[in-house]
Amino acid sequence: MRTGVVAASGLLLGFALDRVLGDPRRGHPVAGFGTAAMRLEQVGYRDQRAAGVVHEIVLVGGVTALAQAGVRAAGARSVGGVLVTALATWTALGGTTLAKTGREMANLLESGDLEGARALLPSLCGRDPELLDADGLARAALESIAENTSDATVAPLFWGAVAGAPGVLAYRAVNTLDAMVGYRNERYHRFGWAAARTDDLANLIPARVSGLLTTALAPVIGGRPAAAWRAWRRDAAKHPSPNAGVAEASMAGALGVTLGGRTEYRHGVEMRPTLGDGPTPRVPDLRRAVRLSEAVQLAAAVAAAAFALSRTANSGGHAR
């Protein structure tokens, strides 16, 4: 079986598993990785960039090596290889849970259950929910859906198409470490530098793929590709993140809303640049964002599988 066929089949099967099962409710491998990362941090933390570089290399390198060993043991060009890639992809993807949480948030806000919506928000982002009204909660959830459509689905699928199961799991390790230590606060400003910069690099291409898919699929929710493209080109660079800006600006343009502005976190308030044109997002816009996210996720899975197959065809690989 050609390696491209193995990768494509595994990516599509893993995507289907995520659609049917969502995230594992117990014993999620990403949670286990997070626990291991915290324990290593307790031993290796120093307020130095070099210590953060070592932390990143040990953890990401370890995950990559384990994934490569698993592929070799299963057979890189066998049905076992397909299953390993599928399980890795299912482990790394978070798109179904993301969409489900977005719909739950919309349901709570429509029913007027602000306390329930505030309790749910931390599962999407790090804003301070107690300071947000219904529109603020809708905006926070929508921005998280835009960013995580790229981070939780497009990016792992992209790296799976490039490097199979090791690519999928290495990316998830990079993204998880960024979420754990990639902050500019007193503790992590130096130690978390490597995690933040590695995550920026790992998402550089996937975020732009996500932006292109969001732009192309804007008509799915009644939007205009031209508006999504214009918001991306005009506003994305204003965002402090080189990648989140692309995902959020293209989503804002597709929806015809304005994102950004005053943003309350537990550590303080940030004034984010505005992205897009139109009114502040409301609950119906959150539902539209979920639908567009799901369309982008499906398109990304198909595109990743097609890319994996094309790499085999271009390399002139032969079946064994």
Beta bridge partners of 269: 264
Whole-number pLDDT of residue 313: 62
3-state DSSP assignment of residue 159: helix
pLDDT at 237: 95
Cα 69 from Cα 81, distance rounded (Å): 11
Residue with tokens 């809708």: 138
Question: Rounded to an integer, what distance in angstroms lies between the CA atom of residue 80 and that of residue 165?
Answer: 12
Show the tokens assigned to 90.
Answer: 């299912």
Q: CA dihedral defined by 21, 24, 25, 27, rounded to 10 degrees?
A: 160
Give the model confidence (pLDDT) of 83-121 as tens digits. 999 999 999 999 999 999 999 999 999 999 999 999 999
For residue 281, what is the DSSP state?
P
Residue whose structure tokens are 């107690």: 130
pLDDT, one tens digit per residue, over 281-318 is 999 999 999 999 999 999 999 999 999 999 766 655 44
Q: Which residues of the chain have pLDDT under 70?
A: 263-270, 312-320
Residue 320 has what pLDDT?
A: 39
